[in-house]
């Protein structure tokens, strides 16, 4: 089993920034890809960003150029730097970990952290 603990969510004004962090523990050797999903009220969960063990990344079109995913393998931690935040970024953000970015949805999930973008 892998445990994922997120931190860094909160309330921010439009145009502001937040940095999410997620620390993985447990059977770390069973995972290679990590990422972030989000779910807004009334909407399906969507993959925001994913990163492989070697650092290859991909992003949802809606966040390209604004969000940056990174990881520190020595600390078993993945980050999501979110800049130029918009009200439509408001959602619960979940850290995910698994074998590959394409199958993250079937992997391990954190408990989620709320991000609210509002003036």
**Smallest Cα–Cα separation from 30: which of 2, 56, 5?**
2
pLDDT of residue 83: 98
pLDDT digits (tens, 9 = 90+) for 38-57: 999 999 999 999 999 999 99
Is the model more confident about 25 or about 29?
25
Residue range 97-102: mean pLDDT, rounded: 91
Parallel/antiparallel/unpaired status of strands 18-26 and 2-7: antiparallel
% of residues, the chain, pLDDT over 70: 100
Whether 30 shows a pLDDT value over 90: the answer reads no
Mean pLDDT of 62-70: 97
Beta strands in 8-90 (DSSP E): 10-12, 18-26, 33-39, 46-51, 57-59, 67-72, 77-82
Distance CA 13, CA 30 (A): 38
- What is the rounded CA–CA span in Å between residue 49 and residue 36? 5
Instruction: Please name the residues in contact with 44: beta carbons below 8 A apart, sequence gap of 6 or more.
Output: none
């Amino acid at each position: 089993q892998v445990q994922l603990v997120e931190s860094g969510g909160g309330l921010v004004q439009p145009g502001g920034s937040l940095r999410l962090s997620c620390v993985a523990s447990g059977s770390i050797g069973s995972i290679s890809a990590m990422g972030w999903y989000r779910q807004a009220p009334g909407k399906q969960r969507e993959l925001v960003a994913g990163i492989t063990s070697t650092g290859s990344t991909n992003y949802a079109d809606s966040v390209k150029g604004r969000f940056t995913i990174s990881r520190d393998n020595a600390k078993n931690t993945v980050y999501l730097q979110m800049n130029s935040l918009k009200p439509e970024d408001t959602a619960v953000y979940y850290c995910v970990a698994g074998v590959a970015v394409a199958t993250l949805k079937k992997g391990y999930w954190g408990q989620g952290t709320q991000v609210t973008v509002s003036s």
